[in-house]
Amino acid sequence: MIGQGTEASLVIDIVFWVLAVSSIIAAIAVVQMKDLFRAALFLIVCFMAVAGMFVLLRAEFVAAVQVLIYVGAISVLIIFAILMTGDIEEGSPAHNFKWPVAVLAVLFGAMAIFVTKSTEWNLLEPAIDAGRIGSNAVTDVYSNTIPVIARLLVRDFVLVFEVASVLLLAAIIGALALIRER
């Protein structure tokens, strides 16, 4: 049954909290850093922590995509763009909206907590106990993640898959346009 295997171990809890705290600290550092290059490095740390959380959720394919696309492509493109611009040490100029932005962030966080607590989540364990889902269906979902996602991408969501590939092609063309000599 779910929750009786590796999900219930103390090591998994410790790894989760390390990843959660490091992703929150890295996200705060991204916003607070004056040096854009270091902010981009903290963004990579945040992306890697999120990929680790996907692994804990048994979504290995999504974790691999997170590492390949966000850490491997987008972050490298951001760092490349930062290095191509001048005055990376100066950073962004300060603005006078620190308190309104802080209030909005707290309100958004409170709203997210409220929505999370008030939503009735469909969990697998009660569905298995009630007999609506067989335990074989649950093990199929967890054991065949990559083939199931591949079938969905090639059959049901082929348009979204192609749009994502065009977006990545546009990012590559944009990177080439940045480094091209004038």
Cβ atoms of residues 91 and 53 within 8 Å: no
Q: Is residue 135 part of a domain?
A: no
Based on the structure, what is the number of domains in the chain?
Answer: 1
Q: What percent of the chain has pLDDT over 90?
A: 18
Query: pLDDT tens across 84-118, in order?
Result: 776 555 555 666 777 888 899 899 989 989 998 99
The answer to the question of residue 103 being in a domain is: no
Instruction: Evaluate whether residue 148 is within a structural domain.
Output: no
Give the CATH number of the domain where residue 8 resides: 1.20.120.1200
The predicted-structure confidence for 19-58, as pLDDT tens digits, reads as follows 999 999 999 998 888 887 888 889 899 999 999 999 888 8
- Report yes or no on 150 lying in a domain: no
For residue 29, the model assigns a pLDDT of: 92
**Does 2 have pLDDT greater than 80?**
no
Which range among 83-87, 112-116, 130-134, 164-168 shows the weakest confidence by mean pLDDT?
130-134
Better pLDDT: 108 or 124: 108
Residues recorded for the chain: 182
DSSP states of 52-66: HHHHHTT-HHHHHHI
How big is the CA angle at 69 (ends 65 and 74), to the nearest 5 degrees?
Answer: 160
